Amino acid sequence: MAVKRAPAGDTSLYTPRPRKRLGQHWLRDQRVLQRIVVAAQVCPEDRLLEIGPGRGALTGHLLATPAAAVVAVELDQQLIAVLRQRFGPDERFSLLHGDALALLRQPLACNPNKVVANIPYNITGPLLQQLMGSVVQPRQPPFQRLVLLLQKEVADRVTAAPGSPACGALSIRMQLLAKAQTVCTVPPACFSPPPEVTSAVVALTPYPPHQRRYGPEQAPLLERLLRVAYGGRRKMLRNTLGDVWSMPSLEQAARQAAVDLSRRPQDLNPDQWVGLSQALALPRR
């Protein structure tokens, strides 16, 4: 494919068009691109993993930082030549052609420590699982920082405070694994083509193992507790958890953890879930 060369940051001369079946919406707003880079907090020793570089709008900004390496993962064959022509001369740039979900199942030779991604909406859940792991099996070693462009509805759930309408099991799981914050909201007009929904940039700073609120031996019970409670999201904890644990044990654990069983699951914060799981694990007299 013949491709004209353009300056870094300029995608106007590139001919590939977004593919709907791949969920491609290319970010073009320079202010948002800059905010993503700033949120990544790039240092000279960082090795950045970019998922879904598209035509390279963000890639150019990442290579303008002092990062030691930028590794881009792109599934779309039509974009590979574009990216290689634009950024191939920079020895810090490398390109992996393939499915990010499959590639992340194995250790990457480049050993990236930070992630920047414009996640296709149709693979958000599985990709978050690959990047973060789960309550029972957190990713090892965790990335130091992730800056993700998500559908705003998902971003709101990831960062939701207890008691808010968006707070759910995903909120608790993500916040048990990482500090989560919203960087900015991204309107549809910032993309080409514009998606039908608003997006948002989220920054995640995963906790190293020694800073997590819970230990590995506690994780299975904690995950079970979340599954049971959020399986009846609109019910009081007394009713959902009482179907699994005996009421005397549950009430004793709730008193020890200072948890009100008349509340609903979205009212509890991560520390309360950890406390309740710890109390339930204690032997009963």
In CATH terms, is domain 20-211 a member of 3.40.50.150?
yes
Burial status of residue 236 (CB atoms within 10 A of its CB: 0-12, 13-18, 19 or more): middle
Mean pLDDT value of segment 184-197: 95
Phi, psi of 276 (to 5 degrees): -65, -40
For the segment 140-186, what is each residue's pLDDT rounded down to a tens digit?
Answer: 999 999 999 999 999 999 999 999 999 999 999 999 999 999 999 99
For the segment 47-102, what is each residue's pLDDT rounded down to a tens digit?
Answer: 999 999 999 999 999 999 999 999 999 999 999 999 999 999 999 999 999 999 99
How many Cα atoms sit within 13 Å of 265 on the Cβ side? 23
For domain 219-281, the CATH superfamily is rRNA adenine dimethylase, C-terminal domain (1.10.8.100)
212: closest CA among 128, 130, 273? 273
68 with 47: CB under 8 angstroms?
yes
What residue ranges of the chain are covered by domains with CATH 3.40.50.150? 20-211
pTM to 2 decimals?
A: 0.90
What residue ranges of the chain are covered by domains with CATH 1.10.8.100? 219-281
